[in-house]
Amino acid sequence: MNWCIDVAVQTPAHSALGDVLSYKSPVAVAPGALVRVPLGRREVLGVAWAVRSAGEDPGSEIELKPIAGVLDALPPLGDGWRDLVAFAARYYQRSLGEIALAALPPQLRDLSAVQLARRLKRQAPAACVGGEPAAAVVALTAEQTEALARFEAEPGPFLLFGSTGSGKTEVYLRSVATLLAREPAAQALVMVPEINLTPQLEARFKARFGADAVVSLHSGMTNPQRLASWLAAHGGAARIVLGTRMAVFASMPALRLIVVDEEHDPSYKQQEGARYSARDLAVWRGRREGAKVILGSATPSLESWHRSRPAEGEDAGGSYRRLAMPSRVGAGALPAVRLVDMNLQPPKTVLSGALLDAIGQRIARGEQSMVFLNRRGYAPVLACGDCGWKSECPHCSAFRVFHKIDRTLRCHHCGFTERVPRACPACGNPDIAPVGRGTERLEEHLGELFAPVRRPDGSAVRIARIDADSTRKQGALESQLAAVHAGEVDVLVGTQMIAKGHDFRRITLVSAINPDGALFSSDFRAPERLFGLLMQSAGRAGRDAAYLTAQQSSAEMWIQTHHPQHPLFAALLRHDYAAFAQGELSERAAAGMPPFAFQALLRADARTQEAAQAFLNAASAAAEALPGADRVTRYPAVPLTIQRVANVERAQMLIESGSRAALQKLLAGWQPLLHGLRRQPEGKGVIRWLVDVDPQAI
């Protein structure tokens, strides 16, 4: 008897081939099994999605291709995993195969059944996790104890609203330990927003639960490492999986707990391909699989804050439970915030005299300072004072950034790099100069300013920079962080890479140099991101109360701004996230913006801006005929802020509705129309289009 197998394969984007392709098999294949199937001239990996006898197949008169093989050494992917993939594909408007195959380790696609069986023989057996080592047990605060008690007693999901240094990681560790003590075969997923936060968390979990019980999953690993971690999670050998956003799709048959640390971070939203939110999928997965979910942050996203609101009057409250931990561990105080009014400083002042004096005092006492500037490179622009030439990228509507360390002009959008010209390419003036300031130039400037200063032992001041450029080499980030933790760095300069998650014990002063740009951005989420970034940055200071007492010092956060009266800074001075959130949510409710409305973006990339906008406007007109279109607002097409990247023009259209269901219904009905438009005159010149549901940047 022949069987008809529906297989999810990674079909080309916008191929309109549908979610699954059908193949025939002489034997029944379990749903969720990995299979190898012919696709065009290639043989590709796929996931068996549905199985039925050939007689039940409505298209049985069509001759189907046979599957090439089954990777039967591997247990099938579970119902929960397939439901998660199907939901993500449906909600984020992507094909089933695209999501399913992207969720699997790349090396799995190239292994034959024999090679996979050989790999599985080498896999370690399931780790046996015992109780916590006695040395690892630390005393809990009253707030931590209450949060854990409520976590055990209530269903969740939970928003762990804990100030920086309040001990959120210890709550994660204890909740995992309690779970594993109760269910020895259970699994826990712990997610962080960025790769650079993984090593220190991994060290803490391995110290507590043993190295064999913990694996990592992130894009910084080699393909063999990713495959080994995935197999350990899928087979149940790994009790705890630590990872970035991609780990939300890890196959974990006994998943009982999901932790999303720094849940507010925009990095949880994928920005290429399938634009899913790992945080939102974690909540959905927890509900589907009966796993408890903890979202942790000192500055929660306004969506999570709103969903965790307590019941009040006629408002029944949100669906999340809010666990508050406002105090720092060890009686440590949050840093005092000081605003420096740059309007009172001489023109072109980079670092105010008062801030330099404060950093100098820290150096003299052997303490560390952190200077935060969210712009890498030496200078954002190189310019000619005579003719007005600027270092524009020939392929993008953006400037190339000057990197002094290797004398290059580099576009951070398309990657186009050239050597710095000896003279102005337009007029020949040899005096071309950097305009503005990045972390590389700030590092150099601080080195010049503190060159005469000496540390307590008489040695020269040591300044280090951590950003995407300085950490490019393998192991560079780990060695630089180790130097900071060892006290070998006096002043740490960096981008947002250093602003969140790190537990620096000797930093007593943090400063933000130029944060004003986000105050008046066209993106309504910019103030929320800025407040979170500044509050997270402040949280790096004074984390060790005993160290501050021994040094007879205090923790401070300095912010240099031209707008000291802005309400965002008023809330920051008091470390009052709740007041900031209330103000922002009131404005969003009045304007009908998320979380009180639901949004999507339709983006088009084309050879010309006219072609991109024509496609979007034609798509908007076509949507008029769809059921429920009157409940969804479609705004006119506009260029992106950076409208040209790598010689491709980009435009977007905002779609908004007060009903998530109405928006989803329109998007689903729109898909075939968009595919059809590509073949119409309106689609001429369009390279690709995509739908971004719940966009994080507009």
Note the pLDDT tens digit of each residue in 673-695: 998 888 887 778 888 999 999 99
Q: Give the pLDDT score at 544.
A: 79
Share of the chain above pLDDT 70, in %: 95
Model confidence at 195, pLDDT cuts 50, 70, 90, reads confident
What is the CATH superfamily name and number for domain 332-376+438-589?
Answer: P-loop containing nucleotide triphosphate hydrolases (3.40.50.300)
Distance separating alpha carbons of residues 507 and 366, to the nearest angstrom: 10
Its CATH architecture, for the domain 598-693, is 2-Layer Sandwich (3.30)
pLDDT higher than threshold 60 for residue 290: yes
User: Regarding the domain delimited by 134-329, which CATH topology (the fold level of the hierarchy) does it fall under?
Assistant: Rossmann fold (3.40.50)
Residue 327 DSSP code? S
Mean pLDDT to the nearest integer, 542-550: 81
Residue 596 has what pLDDT?
95
Average pLDDT (622-626) is 92
Binding residues: 384, 387, 393, 396, 411, 414, 424, 427
Residue from 612, 654, 610, 616 nearest 632 by CA = 654
- pLDDT level of residue 165 (50, 70, 90 thresholds): confident
pLDDT at position 131 over 60: no
pLDDT for 13: 55
Distance CA 177, CA 73 (A): 31
Would you tell me the crossing angle of helices 476-485 and 198-209 to the nearest 10 degrees?
70
Per-residue pLDDT reduced to its tens digit, 203-240: 899 999 998 899 999 988 899 999 999 999 999 999 99
Q: What is the pLDDT of residue 392?
A: 94
Residue 487 zone, left/alpha/beta (φ > 0; ψ -120 to 50; rest): left
Domain edges within the chain = 3-122, 134-329, 332-376+438-589, 381-435, 598-693
| H helix or E strand, kind and range, residue 643 | strand 638-645
Comparing 521 with 461, the larger pLDDT belongs to 461
Q: What is the pLDDT of residue 132?
A: 52
Arithmetic mean of pLDDT, 99-121: 86
Task: Sheet containing 321-325: give its strands across.
Answer: 214-217, 240-243, 187-191, 255-261, 292-297, 158-162, 321-325
The pLDDT value given to residue 112: 80
273 — pLDDT class (breaks 50, 70, 90) = confident
Mean pLDDT lowest among 55-59, 248-252, 354-358, 445-449 = 55-59
* H/E run at residue 269: none
Query: Does the pLDDT at position 433 exceed 80?
Result: yes
pLDDT tens across 292-307, in order? Answer: 999 999 999 999 999 9
- Computed over every residue of the chain, the mean pLDDT equals 90
CATH class label, 3-122: alpha beta
Question: Which region among 47-61, 212-226, 520-534, 607-621 has the lowest average model confidence (pLDDT)?
Answer: 47-61
Percent of the chain surpassing pLDDT 90: 67
**Dihedral sign of CA atoms 202, 204, 207, 210 in order:** negative
CB 323 within 8 A of CB 545: no
d(CA 231, CA 119): 9
Q: Tens digit of pLDDT for each residue in 321-371?
A: 999 999 888 767 789 999 999 999 998 899 999 999 999 999 999 999 999
Burial class (CB in 10 A: 0-12, 13-18, 19+), 153: exposed
What distance, in Å, lies between the first and last C-alpha atoms of the chain?
54
Instruction: Tell me: pLDDT of 286 over 70.
Output: yes
Task: Give the confidence band of 135 by pLDDT, cuts at 50, 70, 90.
Answer: very low
Annotated binding site for Zn(2+): 384, 387, 393, 396, 411, 414, 424, 427
What is the per-residue pLDDT for 698?
81
pLDDT digits (tens, 9 = 90+) for 37-90: 998 888 999 999 999 887 665 555 578 899 988 998 899 999 999 999 999 999
Give the DSSP letter of residue 313: T
pLDDT digits (tens, 9 = 90+) for 465-519: 998 888 888 888 888 988 998 889 999 999 888 887 777 888 999 999 988 888 8
Same fold, 134-329 and 332-376+438-589: yes
pTM above 0.85, yes or no: yes
